[in-house]
Amino acid sequence: MVCKLEKSLKNPFRSFNYFVNYFIMVMLKLTLSLFLIFVLILVTVPNSFAEQSAEELFEIGVDYYFEFFDDSVQDSGYKAIEYFDKALEIDPEHLQALIHKAEILHGFDGNFEETMALFDKALEIDPTEPYALVNKGSVLANNGNLEESMALYETALEHNPDFFQAKLNIAIILYSQEKYSEAIPLLQEYLEETDENFDIAEMLLKNAQENRPVTQEEYKELEEKWDPTNLIPITLLIKVVVAYAETDNEEISNDDGGCLIATATYGTELAPQVQLLREIRDNTLFSTTSGTSFMSGFNTIYYSFAPTVADWERESPLFKETVKTLITPMLSTLSIMSLAEDGSEEQVLGLGISVIALNLGMYIAAPAMIGLQVRKIIKFQNY
């Protein structure tokens, strides 16, 4: 009787134990099956989620991109690059992320090598991509490489006949070379085909028909109407403006907009360093009589050599880097001028004298002292 009872008690336990083991095995098989199905989906189905995510990140970056160019918000430029980089991590061949990042980098400090590398990568993916061709051409044009930039514009037009930006850029190069008869038909075609940058094209056409370059006032108008998201080689016209002013014996005006050496050094007028110089000039120096008088004399001296130095920079990367190294400390000292918030004569004059003293110390006194010390050491060693 006891044995039967024990057997009956054991059977339920054994049945329950069997059920638990069976349940565990079923769940393991189900989990393994689901895992294999998930892996199979990842392998066989296109990674649409990754692509969508990359596109979403790119679109967020584009919003910051326009804030940077339209509103000159420097932080937005860094944010844009951050989102473009995230998009490129997911999709390394995202063409527009590569192109937009290159434009931002060029807008920051004219980082020529990194900008070119991004455009080159985009063109490896698609050799006929019009924005990559034209924007790379414009960066080259602004650095003085007109022959290669023309070839890129022509390639863009060959594969994309409706990409009018390339036609305008070719016309600008021809115009800057005073090849007015060649620029006129291109400008006429451009104006018939699109309304983009209409004011710029119309002004250049009018001047080309009159066989004359852009005046200082006209260049200022061009700057105001220029859309910085379109990399037009507008900086080519700066040299034309200066040459025109010199041939007409005109004094360079206070608001000419031509920080020639800084623009050539940092590659673009949108670089923070160039913007700093303009802000100090327009908002601080020109707000006082003493500052205006100083700038009048300074411009006379500056524009006697600046175009030549800017040309040398475009022709020689080594010379460009040397100039950048030399002027960077000076730009740091000039930022002191932004402390003159109320624009009073006393503040501007006092800070101006301080800046001049600092620069004399850095560029003349310090090297002279170092030279004297070196001379003493050499003399001592000879004894």
Per residue in 32-84, pLDDT tens? 666 666 555 544 444 443 445 888 999 999 998 888 877 667 788 889 999 99
Could you give the CA distance from residue 206 to residue 201 in angstroms, rounded to a whole number?
Answer: 9
Nearest to 163 by CA among 194, 204, 185, 125: 194
Nearest to 139 by CA among 99, 175, 178: 99
Average pLDDT, the chain: 74
3-state secondary structure of 46: coil
Q: Could you read off the pLDDT of 231-247 as tens digits, one per residue?
A: 666 556 555 444 444 44
Q: Could you read off the pLDDT of 89-99 as tens digits, one per residue?
A: 999 999 999 99
Q: Do domains 49-126 and 146-232 have the same CATH topology?
A: yes
Residue 11 predicted with pLDDT over 90: no
Residue 357 exposure: Cα atoms within 13 Å on the Cβ side: 7
Domain 49-126 -> CATH class: mainly alpha
Domain ranges of the chain: 49-126, 146-232, 257-383
Q: How far from each other are the two terminal CA atoms of the chain, in whole angstroms?
A: 122
Q: Angle 217-352-73 (CA atoms, 0-180°, nearest 5)?
A: 55
Q: What is the mean pLDDT of residues 366-382?
A: 72
Domain spanning 146-232: which superfamily?
Tetratricopeptide repeat domain (1.25.40.10)
> What's at 38, amino acid-wise?
F
Of 10-19, 43-52, 121-130, 277-286, minimum mean pLDDT range: 43-52
| CA-CA-CA-CA torsion sign (28, 33, 35, 36) | positive
pLDDT for 309: 80
Of 17-26, 228-237, 242-251, 323-332, minimum mean pLDDT range: 242-251
Record the pTM.
0.54
pLDDT for 50: 44
Would you put residue 253 in left (φ > 0), alpha (ψ -120 to 50) or beta?
beta
Could you give the CA distance from residue 13 to residue 271 in angstroms, rounded to a whole number?
Answer: 80
